[in-house]
Structure 1
Amino acid sequence: MAEIITMPQLSDTMEEGTVIRWNKKIGDEVLEGDILAEIETDKATQDFEIDVSGILLFIGVHEGEKTRVNEILAIIGKKGEDISHLIPKNKEKKNHQEIRDDKIINEYEKKDRILISPLAKKMAKKIGIPIKNLRGSGDNGRIIKRDIQQSYDAYDNSLLIKKTISHSSMRKKIACHLSISKFSSPHYYLFSEINVDKLIEFRKNINDKLSLEERISFNDIIIKAVAKALNIHPDINTSWNKDEMIYYSDINIGIAVALEDGLIVPVIKNADKKSLSQISKEMKDKVLRSKLRKIQPEEIEHSTFTVSNLGMYGIESFTSIINHPNSSILSIGSIMKKPIIKDAKIIIGSVMKITLSCDHRIIDGANGSSYIISLRKFLEDPITILL
């Protein structure tokens, strides 16, 4: 008997999912344990492992499309099995299929198929030209590069700037998450400039003793310093609740990582108890898997403090929106050379600007300032991080 496979809830906050890729096509045999599809949730892209065996008879959501949790995703059953009674009416029109001579033919897609070369299709998508009404000059009316170029030359430029792209699940989650934080948490900002001459020398001395793969980044040192300073100031490692303030015993540092269509915040848990090498190795792994959308939901949850570093983009300083439910977030700017005063003399030194965004419901100005003082001491004399 055929079984309906529904969109799974792959995270505790997931309401809908987008099918990024099907690993099987209609008519293929699937076995229990196979990865049926890759699904994008509001947090990451995950493999969907099937728990039944049979023939893939029906696909209810095409690649790039989304549907809500528990809506029909696919139907798996026996070869040649009649599944018409299992297909929702709203899916029948879109996915009209029939089985003939043991082959499943998608008549709807065949009828509406547009003959277009891969290059022409890529060009049309990039510049926003609709291909449905184009007449191709290639074999059998195939749309080719020349047709797209001619259409572009004649296209009204005012229409080209009106391209729309549907929000991904991740982008919608980011928008909701940050809107809640910005409009519910009264933000204020503390700015500071740190002399990082010793920090640069500290990192160089460590990396001179390590292989290329083992070398630590400035971000690794900052994570450790942030965690050590939170040990001294537990009032910063907190969250606001309706009736109470939550003080966390664990120090879990979230690191904002940029993706093509948004950002993700992998978490280094118990960062205060880990060595620089451990932090560095874990960060490299999590950043890579974040960009490949292979990071697991539990690896981006339960942060108690967040760091956002745009120094690699040449940004001098900036402010960040607090990563709810944290009570603060640290923004890191680029390292710059500038004149500084040392021992009553003007010399050229290296400085880095930081900004601490605080939730004023929990963290008062004096508390936030005290935290920055402790953090500055660690970064200006980083050997103390190891003590």
Structure 2
Amino acid sequence: MPIELKMPALSPTMEEGTLAKWLVKEGDSVSSGDLLAEIETDKATMEFEAVDEGVITKLLVAEGTDGVKVGTVIAVIAGEDDDSASAPKTAPAAPKAEVAAPPPPAAAPVASTPAPAPATASGDERIKASPLARRIAAERAVDLSQISGSGPNGRIVKQDVEAAIGGASAAPAAPPAASAPQAAPAPKPAPVAAIETDIPHEVVKLSNMRKTIARRLTESKQQVPHIYLTVDVRLDALLKLRSELNASLESRGVKLSVNDMLVKALALSLIQVPKCNVSFAGDTMLQYSRADISVAVSVPTGLITPIVKGADSKTLSVISTEISELAGRAKEGKLQPHEYQGGTASISNMGMMGIKQFEAVINPPQGMILAIGAGEKRPYIVDDALAIATVMSATGSFDHRAIDGADGAELMKVFKELVEKPLGLVA
């Protein structure tokens, strides 16, 4: 019988996506693991692979189509035993209406997408999984029998294995993304009125990422009562230590940035002041025992925040390497959902752009974000005498529903001390 290919849920929160590009055409033969299309989610462009063999008999959604709901049939494959002439006749009618109709009210389509979990079998060969998923599982020692497949007929695909790998390593950070919004449902923002103008202009279509940024930041400022706390931090000792560490790390090809060291300082501060390492979840609060730091990275289509997981327990060299690798893949749109969803706090550094001070918007369900300004030479009191020092301003934005001002102030105090006496970052 013909196999319907449906728009997959490439992240836990994905409800719709853009079919950016088809990598096959009607009449092409495909095998399990072949790449079929590129799909743009709210944060990245991801590849969609085949999980069955057959011939593409019909592409039901055109390239560049926006707002394709998860679960919508986007193509039909005729299996090896199918009559190729009959395959297109069995599937197009319903999908065409589904694609052409105006977007229906949100109805949690993600829940309907995953197929039943593959039945546990006596041998791995009886588990339905694509060759690519099997290879990744073998390399990472993942038990396929413990994974539910989201492909046709419950087939396990690459995204399922990667999600399992990411879920295992990010267990403490995963719950807030699901629990916080359920506890406090977000009201839909009022529609923005169309703008009529005689000023020469062009209309620029918003990417899915830009739409998501607009929606989430609006919700954050509407729902989260922000409190802002700023400290001036002397950087001279940290800059000296960075220079010494880079000299010793040169043979390993590692070069620490100031931001790498500030990520470590924020992570340790959250562990020392656990009342700030939290998420507000309605009538409960999530208290984290690990500091997963989201690092704001500017990309051509907007802003994305890849996560350094367990930054409090990682060395500076490991943090530096991870941030460099994550930022590179973020700019290429290659991050997997588990690499940018979650986190317990964020850091946004605009110092390299010469910005002296700013107040960042909290990224829910996180409880705080740290905004870093430029380090500059300033008059400063050193040992009760006026001197010239390299000083930066750091501003913490805190969710006042979960974090009291005194606790936020304690976190900023600890952060300042760690930066000004930076040997604690390598102890």
TM-score calculated relative to the size of structure 2: 0.71
Aligned-residue sequence identity (percent) comes to: 39
SS of residue matched to 1:285: helix
Structure with the largest fraction of strand = 1
Q: 1:141-156 to 2 correspondence within 5 Å?
A: none
Q: Give the match for residue 68 of structure 1.
A: 69
Q: Give the match for residue 99 of structure 1.
A: none
Preserved contact between residue 330 and residue 356 of structure 1 (Cα < 8 Å): yes
Alpha-carbon offset, residue 64 of structure 1: 2.2
Which letter maps to 2:307?
Answer: V
1:313 is the counterpart of 2:353? yes
Cα distance in 2 for partners of 1:300, 1:261 equals 15
What do you get for the CA RMSD once the two structures are aligned? 2.2
Cα distance in 1 for partners of 2:406, 2:302 equals 34
Q: Give the match for residue 54 of structure 2.
A: 54
Q: Give the match for residue 179 of structure 1.
A: 218
Q: Give the match for residue 44 of structure 2.
A: 44
Preserved contact between residue 253 and residue 271 of structure 1 (Cα < 8 Å): yes
Cα distance in 2 for partners of 1:381, 1:347 equals 18
- In structure 1, runs of 5+ residues without a counterpart are 96-156
1:329 is the counterpart of 2:369? yes
Q: 1:1-387 to 2 correspondence within 5 Å?
A: 1-66=1-66, 67-77=68-78, 81-82=85-86, 83-88=88-93, 91=96, 158=198, 160-161=200-201, 163-211=202-250, 213-387=253-427
SS of residue matched to 1:20: strand
Preserved contact between residue 4 and residue 73 of structure 2 (Cα < 8 Å): yes
- In structure 2, runs of 5+ residues without a counterpart are 101-196
Which letter maps to 1:289?
Answer: R
Classify 1:370/1:89 alpha carbon distance in 2 versus 1 (closer, same or farther; 3 Å): closer
Classify 1:209/1:72 alpha carbon distance in 2 versus 1 (closer, same or farther; 3 Å): same
Bigger shift: residues 20-29 or 72-81: 72-81
Aligned length in residues = 324
Cα distance in 1 for partners of 2:36, 2:253 equals 34
Q: Give the match for residue 109 of structure 2.
A: none
Alpha-carbon offset, residue 286 of structure 1: 0.9
Which letter maps to 1:164?
Answer: V
Q: Give the match for residue 109 of structure 1.
A: none
For residues 294-353 of structure 1, give each alpha carbon's deviation from its aligned partner in whole angstroms, at most 9, with x where no partner exists.
111111122111111111211111111111011111001111122223234433221111
Preserved contact between residue 2 and residue 81 of structure 1 (Cα < 8 Å): no
Preserved contact between residue 74 and residue 95 of structure 2 (Cα < 8 Å): no
Alpha-carbon offset, residue 80 of structure 1: 5.1
Which letter maps to 1:197?
Answer: D
TM-score calculated relative to the size of structure 1: 0.79
Cα distance in 2 for partners of 1:314, 1:65 equals 40
Cα distance in 1 for partners of 2:333, 2:83 equals 34
Preserved contact between residue 270 and residue 276 of structure 2 (Cα < 8 Å): yes
* Rg comparison, structure with higher value: 1
Cα distance in 1 for partners of 2:395, 2:61 equals 44
Alpha-carbon offset, residue 226 of structure 1: 0.7
